[in-house]
Amino acid sequence: MRKNDYPLIEPGKKRLKRMYVALLLFIFGRAFQAVAKVDSAAKKEFDEMPPDFMLDLCVAPNGPHMIVGKNKKGKIQYYGWNPKGKMITLSMKIKSLEAAILMFTFQESSCTATARDRLIVEGDLPIASGVLRLMDLLEVLLLPKFIARLGVKRYPDRSRMSLGRKLRSRVFTYSRVVIG
């Protein structure tokens, strides 16, 4: 038997999973931009970030990207999926497409994914912690409660987030995600 008698088997492309993760990153990017204008807690979190803040949330090794950062006016803006030509100050990489699927199908919270070493962070850790808090806030605002409870470590009770604030922020965030 020779080595050439056996063809090289290449793994599948997992196109459906990549498309799902890319769609979720697109929605989250638009939602980051929207919630920065709508919710006071998110505004405060973004104000604590440096003026040159630029986040690249991606799936390693060559998966989809989400670029979010502050523009020259200090407003949060979604910059799309292409990191070329952008000065990334915080890079958060999900180690594999399978880990991204666990996170974005809300089978695993971002805190659990971090604890299980599924994220690689290049940049300031306090800023990365703020981004994770914002992702949890987005999950609470964008998803129904029974799904959001799976995606966040601790779902906020009414003393931490009133029903009125949640509904107002949810409506305005949804409308800004869809309209722009």
The full set of domains in the chain, from first to last, is 13-179 (3.30.1050.10)
CB 172 within 8 Å of CB 38: yes
Length of the chain: 180
> Closest Cα to residue 111, out of 123, 127, 128?
128
Q: What is the pTM of this model?
A: 0.84
Which tokens belong to 50?
């440096």
Residue 37 vs residues 32, 74, 77, 98, 131: alpha-carbon distances, Å: 9, 12, 10, 32, 16
Give dist(CA 107, CA 151) in Å, integer: 7
Q: Give tens-digit pLDDT for 121-169.
A: 999 999 999 998 888 888 888 888 888 888 777 777 776 778 888 888 8
The answer, yes or no, to whether residue 12 has pLDDT greater than 80, is no
Q: Is the pLDDT of residue 173 over 70?
A: yes
- The answer on pLDDT for 107 being more than 80 is yes
DSSP H or E segment with residue 120? strand 119-122
Q: Please write the tens of the pLDDT for every residue from 88-106.
A: 999 999 999 999 999 999 8
Is residue 50's pLDDT more than 70? yes
